[in-house]
Amino acid sequence: MDKQILVLDFGGQYDQLIARRVRAEQVCAEIKNYNSIGLDEIAAYQGVIFTGGPNSVYAPGAPRFDPRILELGVPILGICYGAQLMAYLGGGRVETAKNGSEFGKTAVNFEQSPLFYGIPAESECWMSHTDYISAPPAGFCVIARSASCPCAAMGDDERKLYGVQFHPEVTHTAYGRHILRNFLFEICGCEPVWRMDSFVRTAVDYWRAELEGKRVLLALSGGVDSAVTAALLHRAIGEKLTCVFVDHGLLRKGEGDLVERTFREEMGMNLIRVNAEGRFMHRLFGVRDPEHKRRAIGEEFIRVFEAEAAKLGPVQVLAQGTIYPDVIESGKGPGAVIKSHHNVGGLPESIGFERIAEPLRDLFKDEVRRVGLELGLPEEIVFRQPFPGPGLAVRIIGEVTRERLRILREADAIFRETIEKADCTDLADQYFAVLTDLHSVGVMGDARTYGCTVALRAVSTDDFMTAQWSRLPYEVLETASSAITNRVPGVSRVVYDISSKPPATVEWE
């Protein structure tokens, strides 16, 4: 596929949001750091978007770019800092506002411009800036104004260069989507071709050719990313793919069997399930500290995985379920060799693979899910909630024992089933039970009990960086609480966690 849109990142907080907005229009967007790409590579794109950024163009060390970018003949849309940078590179003037920053929803008046085609002459836009463009460079006209911004947007129709001081990518800008669409379709001439069915066809053909004659190994956790990677590579190379599923005995009720059934029986994959519960329990004996637990599990995982890889004989390629936000967050940018695996705390580099295959590294999570559905994975897997790599071990406060795992597994299954039966799944993005280390007195029949306390946790969030505790109906909480105390021996009390993130985290450990 030809290169469509390049999002050139100058350190803005909305780079990923811009890329997602572009992809929502079925146009492929790639984010690259401003200092990781040269002019000739940029010339291959149909259009470029400069992101915002926290700096002033005059600040020492502020991100800059080669001014020749404006002469490549590639349409550019600069946003906020990106617009100021265009002004600065082109010889215009940028100043610091004397009356402080302009922040929030602001009424903006628009002139006639291909960028604003089809939108009203005045509407609200989201502003967040201290510097502003006081004079656009030669060749540019002012095409929008606000009360405190003499140049809220500028454009050079001939060179197809545009800069906007406001943020069209945030929903508070009333016609932001319309403006982005004008840029993509009218100004850059993009076609809406970024579709998941075509992605699957292209990726399957590509990896089939690329991996010809090679054996490929994948650590399958059952999470969405590794599951979709497995399904895609299986379609490309079939038998040549071996998936190793390390069952550390810290999975939720029925989870190991679901993974095995889905991948081996339903999808016909070459799957090795390693039942390593004994090894992990041994490693976790007496361990109470959360970080110690995580480290022990990560290290043990690597040992088990290495042992399985050694049994298989020569394997040339290690496949990983890296997705786009991982690539961006790792800060390594495209071309990075190996990333530390979220779920398993770092896969072995010592095994000596010839290469790493990461077929999903250009996709966002929602796109990965769409690819999963396209490939015929069941919704149970595709819409699976996030689950930490160290599994239930970080949901058991204190020591992990088989008995405590049994209690948590049952309580967690009851809570999840209650929410699903009550049709409340829309009220929370993640919900689970935690086994605390608190014992308390209870009464059952006429007898005194002294049992454990289970905490229920449900959160609503967009990105898991921040989260609100979910307002589940009292009746649902009551049903879950009484089912847990009645059906799970050893539990005498159930509490609901009403902390948001921050200051709490989603997981307790």
Catalytic positions are 80, 167, 169
Phi-psi domain of 148 (left: phi exceeds 0; alpha: psi -120 through 50; beta: other): alpha
**Binding to ligand XMP by residue 507, rule CB under 6 A?**
yes
Closest among 340, 349, 487, 341 to 413, alpha carbons compared? 487
Q: Where does this chain touch ligand XMP (CB under 6 A) — which range of 173-181, 269-277, 417-425, 500-508?
A: 500-508
Which of 262, 343, 481, 492: binder of ligand XMP (CB under 6 A)? 343
Answer whether 275's CB lies under 8 Å from 247's CB.
Answer: yes
Residues of the chain by 3-state class (helix, strand, coil), percent to 5: 35, 25, 40
Q: CB-based burial of residue 137 (10 Å sphere; 0-12 exposed, 13-18 middle, 19+ buried)?
A: buried
What is the total count of residues that contact ligand XMP (CB under 6 A)?
Answer: 12
Stretch 126-165: interaction string toward ligand XMP, x if CB under 6 A: ----------------------------------------
Q: How far is the CB of 441 from ligand XMP (least distance, A)?
A: 30
Of 168 and 389, which CB lies nearer to ligand XMP in the complex structure?
389
**Binding to ligand XMP by residue 506, rule CB under 6 A?**
yes
**Binding to ligand XMP by residue 501, rule CB under 6 A?**
yes
Answer whether 306's CB lies under 8 Å from 348's CB.
Answer: yes
Q: How far is the CB of 58 from ligand XMP (least distance, A)?
A: 38
Of 181 and 294, which CB lies nearer to ligand XMP in the complex structure?
294
Token duo for residue 424: 């409340």
What DSSP character marks residue 385?
P
Q: How far is the CB of 326 from ligand XMP (least distance, A)?
A: 10
Which residues 254-283 are close enough to bind ligand XMP by CB under 6 A? none
Q: How far is the CB of 168 from ligand XMP (least distance, A)?
A: 30
Q: Where does this chain touch ligand XMP (CB under 6 A) — which range of 284-292, 370-378, 449-457, 499-507?
A: 499-507
Residue the block writes with tokens 């991948």: 263
Of 430 and 460, which CB lies nearer to ligand XMP in the complex structure?
430
Strand stretches in 381-475, DSSP E: 430-444, 447-460, 468-469
Q: Where does this chain touch ligand XMP (CB under 6 A) — which range of 30-38, 90-98, 320-328, 501-509?
A: 501-509
Of 316 and 385, which CB lies nearer to ligand XMP in the complex structure?
385
Q: What angle do CA 258, 261, 265 make, to 5 degrees?
A: 165
Closest among 278, 483, 470, 476 to 385, alpha carbons compared? 470
CA distance 120 to 155: 18
Which residues 373-392 are close enough to bind ligand XMP by CB under 6 A? 386, 388-390
* Angle, in degrees to the nearest 10, between helices 196-210 and 224-237: 60
Of 21 and 342, which CB lies nearer to ligand XMP in the complex structure?
342
Stretch 418-447: interaction string toward ligand XMP, x if CB under 6 A: ------------x-----------------
Which residues 317-336 are close enough to bind ligand XMP by CB under 6 A? none
Cis-peptide, bond into residue 503, ω within 30° of zero: yes
Of 85 and 392, which CB lies nearer to ligand XMP in the complex structure?
392
Q: With H, G, I as helix, E, B as strand and everything else as coil, classify residue 421.
A: helix
Stretch 456-485: interaction string toward ligand XMP, x if CB under 6 A: --------x---------------------
Q: How far is the CB of 19 from ligand XMP (least distance, A)?
A: 21
Q: Which helix (H) or strand (E) holds 383?
A: none
Answer whether 178's CB lies under 8 Å from 114's CB.
Answer: no
Listing DSSP states for 244-261 in one string gives EEEE-S-PPTTHHHHHHI
Q: How far is the CB of 491 from ligand XMP (least distance, A)?
A: 22
Beta carbons within 8 Å of 299's beta carbon, 6+ residues apart = 283, 345
Of 82 and 388, which CB lies nearer to ligand XMP in the complex structure?
388
Closest among 413, 432, 412, 416 to 424, alpha carbons compared? 416
Q: How far is the CB of 329 from ligand XMP (least distance, A)?
A: 12
Which of 234, 342, 404, 493: binder of ligand XMP (CB under 6 A)? 342
Answer whether 87's CB lies under 8 Å from 154's CB.
Answer: yes
Q: How far is the CB of 505 from ligand XMP (least distance, A)?
A: 3
Of 156 and 255, which CB lies nearer to ligand XMP in the complex structure?
255
Q: Which residues bind ligand XMP (CB under 6 A)?
A: 342-343, 386, 388-390, 430, 464, 501, 505-507
